[in-house]
Amino acid sequence: MPFNCYLCQEETVITSFFCSDCNYIKRILQCYGRTEIKDIITKVCIRNDKQMNNKIEIIKEKFDKEEKKQIKKEKEIEKQSVGDSSYIKPNNLNKDYIDELKNKIKDY
């Protein structure tokens, strides 16, 4: 009569209590000991608050860099579309004023 593996509960086994993958894990446990394997799993697989916060900061920085690249790319496209050396850089003007000027140019 077939049974599910005692460890993963996913694979059906007939002649033993563990499937081949779980049997491999069981042999490693026997070699290194339960506490050592538990410590390794805790250090490698489980994240503490400091590690989670660090990961969040890394992801935020990545998104910020991508956003800055996108803004820079948009500015480059805007400069190329104007193509005039007398183009006024938007750093010195109010954004609303720039939008108003763009609309006037489009309507003209």
Cα torsion at 20, 22, 24, 26 (round to 10°)? Answer: -140
Instruction: Give the model's pLDDT for residue 89.
Output: 56
Question: Using the 8-state DSSP alphabet, how is residue 13 labeled?
Answer: E
21-32 tens-digit pLDDT: 999 999 999 999
Task: Tell me what the mean pLDDT of segment 26-43 comes to.
Answer: 92
Q: How confident is the model at residue 35 (pLDDT cuts 50, 70, 90)?
A: very high
Average pLDDT estimate for 5-12: 90
82-86: list long-range contacts, CB under 8 Å, 24+ apart: none
Residues 6+ apart with CB under 8 A from 53: none
Q: For CA atoms 44, 48, 52, 57, give the dihedral sign.
A: negative
Residue 23: predicted pLDDT: 93
